[in-house]
Structure 1
Amino acid sequence: MYLEAKETARLYKLLSDKLGSDTTEAMFKYIDNKTERSVEATIKTLATKEDLAKVKYDLSKDIGASVKWMFIFWVSQLAVMLSIVVLMLKK
């Protein structure tokens, strides 16, 4: 942190010598505001533990429903196949 402050002060001095203190101050404020908005936007898109728990719960619920329907499908397919085999053996 100390090096960043020292480097920022040096950069401010170099720029204010070339551009003037008003322009340099405006540029630093612009960069600070832009950085702050970028961080806030990033924070808004991050998932919280609650978000991840909800997704995990929803996913497990969906998988459970899918497995239930797959099981029903397999059982009905097995019943149809057995019926066909029984009908063929009777003839």
Structure 2
Amino acid sequence: MSEIKVNSSVVDEERHRAVLDESQILDLVANAVARSAGVSLEGAGVSVRTLHIGSRTSGSISVSKAEAVCEIVVDRRLQALDGAA
């Protein structure tokens, strides 16, 4: 077996790395949008209708940029029914 070359270095910093799967990314986006809108995703009549992560081309040199689209719907009728119960 050939020798394995290992390069090591120590620096005064702490690094944290995570690889998220699609459902975790979608959950983070939905929660961030709900928090910004002042809506609880656990509330009555609240649902995530649209949640899409993709990319779009921007500028004359066709630079691709990631984007997320999230639509949260608050059904006021269901909230009223929940409040009446």
TM-score normalised by structure 2 residue count: 0.26
Larger radius of gyration, structure 1 or 2? Answer: 1
Higher share in strand = 2
Query: Comparing both chains, which one has the higher relative contact order based on Cα–Cα distances under 8 Å and sequence gaps of 6 or more?
Result: 2
